[in-house]
Amino acid sequence: MALLSIVGTGDVRTEHRGRISVLASWTDAEEARFRKVLNAYAAKYHVNVDYQGTTALREVLLSRLNAGNPPDIAILPSLGEVGTYVGSASPPRELTPVLKDALNAYGPLWAPRFGGKVYAVAVKADLKSIVWYDPARPQSPRTTAARGGGQWCAGMGGDATSGWPGTDWIEDILLQQSGTEAYEKWARGELPWTEGAVPRAWEAFGGVFTREPAAAALENDWGQKLFAPQSRQCSLQHQASFARTADYTRRAAFAPTREVLPGIARGPAATEVSADFATLFARKGEQAGAAEDLMRFLTTEEGQKAWAEVPEEEKSRKVTTNPGRPFFVTPGAPRPDPGTERVNAAVSKALGGPQPKCLDASDAMPLRMRFAFQHGVLDYLSDPGPEKQRQVLAYLEDVREELKSAPAVPGGAETSGVPGIPGVSPPHICR
């Protein structure tokens, strides 16, 4: 009887309430870390989780929505992606009834409102507007940058879309030169590409990427890093906090871009950031209840701690830094220890700092404008100079004008501004 009792208790403990599906863009090491959160949730709520990680997230999600088989939860890499689905025929659910008071921990940038309703929350964030450097080198990053574009570990190649590292450069420069108001108007399609703040930012970009640095950037992948053997000739990297590796968390430091390139520091200090937003598509039955539990779990300190702690395999090697550590935006979230995670603690502090923050501008643009921008960067770098800049910006302005005059469509895929519900003001990307 005692044995039967033990077996019966074990069966109860491992009984599952069902199965839910989660779609996100994280693969490899990022996927392994996120699975720790899902495993912690599954153990607590007795729910099986099918996770699909893909770098073609947009295509996969659209295919599943069109087939009537959406994932229960989709974690989207930008506010622009959220807006695309908010205005679609198969929108995610409004989250206020699900998260309730938990939403109070999120600022307006991290729980954006479309027409007063919240459809997504930022479950992790990254810091942009920074330059990585090796503090062991004798020269300051500002002095190094003054020596020219050959000092930069720059690459325009990307997993899904080449050119995006260059759009990050131009966005950051425009934000530092012209401030948050111009930056947000530009993202919404309200500023021309051919005059004022936008060409001024491209000119500063061209001042760094003259012919030889531009050619090198076109040949390299974005993941070129300071401490890689092939990177011995470069000393600086303009890249977000997701560029961290074990070498970075042990040896690197970072500084705001405006301090490294003082010539662009014309407007008040502001910081570009990015975020991954969780959305809920499950609508009814026990499956929807389980997905709601996971949405809530992602906002809790318990879930965040499971995601942030050093992996067991690293602990066994006495590693205390966590290069893939995610950063959270809620006040009660676990924070890195400055004594053991110097770089991570500095990133976390900057993300929580008082300076204005703006989400990635190109991510907030309509898809056609975003891809044209990325292609324009590559075209410009093929022959950097005033004439090529004029040609590229004229082309981008033509795209903006066409989108501006196009009729509004569900999802906002071909309209100006942050996509979303036609007729409903989209959320601000700067706060």
Question: Are domains 14-126+273-351 and 127-271+363-412 of this chain identical in fold?
Answer: yes
Distance CA 362, CA 341 (A): 31
pLDDT tens track for 402-413: 999 987 654 444
First to last CA, the chain: 63
What are the b/e assignments for 217-256, b being 16+ CB within 10 Å? bbebebebbbbeeeeeebbbbbbbbebbbeebbeebbbbb
Q: What is the CATH number of domain 127-271+363-412?
A: 3.40.190.10
Q: Residue 39 has what pLDDT?
A: 97
The token pair at 187 is 């993202």
Mean pLDDT computed over 213-234:
85
pLDDT tens track for 13-47: 444 568 999 999 999 999 999 999 999 999 999 99
Distance CA 377, CA 132 (A): 22
Q: Residue 5 has what pLDDT?
A: 34
Q: Residue 232 has what pLDDT?
A: 67
Q: Is 49 helix (H, G, I), strand (E, B) or coil?
A: strand
| pTM: predicted TM-score of the whole model, two decimal places | 0.93
Q: Are 310 and 320 in contact (CB under 8 A)?
A: yes
pLDDT tens track for 358-396: 999 999 999 999 999 999 999 999 999 999 999 999 999
Distance CA 255, CA 224 (A): 18
Residue 223 banded pLDDT, cuts 50, 70, 90: confident
> What kind of fold does domain 14-126+273-351 have according to CATH?
D-Maltodextrin-Binding Protein; domain 2 (3.40.190)
Distance CA 125, CA 330 (A): 11
Mean pLDDT computed over 100-119:
96
pLDDT tens track for 339-356: 999 999 999 999 999 999
Cβ-proximal residues to 332 (8 Å cutoff; 6+ apart), any chain: 105, 301
Q: Residue 9 has what pLDDT?
A: 34
Residue 421 has pLDDT above 90, yes or no: no
Cβ-proximal residues to 313 (8 Å cutoff; 6+ apart), any chain: none
Residue 250 has pLDDT above 50, yes or no: yes
The token pair at 426 is 């989209």
For the chain, give every domain's residue range: 14-126+273-351, 127-271+363-412
State the residue for tokens 């008082």: 354
Cβ-proximal residues to 310 (8 Å cutoff; 6+ apart), any chain: 319, 320, 321, 322
Residue 424 banded pLDDT, cuts 50, 70, 90: confident
Residue 300 has pLDDT above 60, yes or no: yes
Residue 307 has pLDDT above 50, yes or no: yes
pLDDT tens track for 47-73: 999 999 999 999 999 999 999 999 999
DSSP string for residues in 205-247: HHHHS-HHHHHHHHHSBTT--TTSGGGTT--EEE--GGG--HH
Mean pLDDT of the chain: 91
The token pair at 115 is 């027409």
DSSP string for residues in 308-364: HSPPHHHHTTT----TT--B--STTS----TTT-HHHHHHHHHHTSSS-EEE-TGGG
Cβ-proximal residues to 317 (8 Å cutoff; 6+ apart), any chain: none
Mean pLDDT computed over 198-213:
97
Mean pLDDT computed over 293-313:
92
Mean pLDDT computed over 253-260:
98
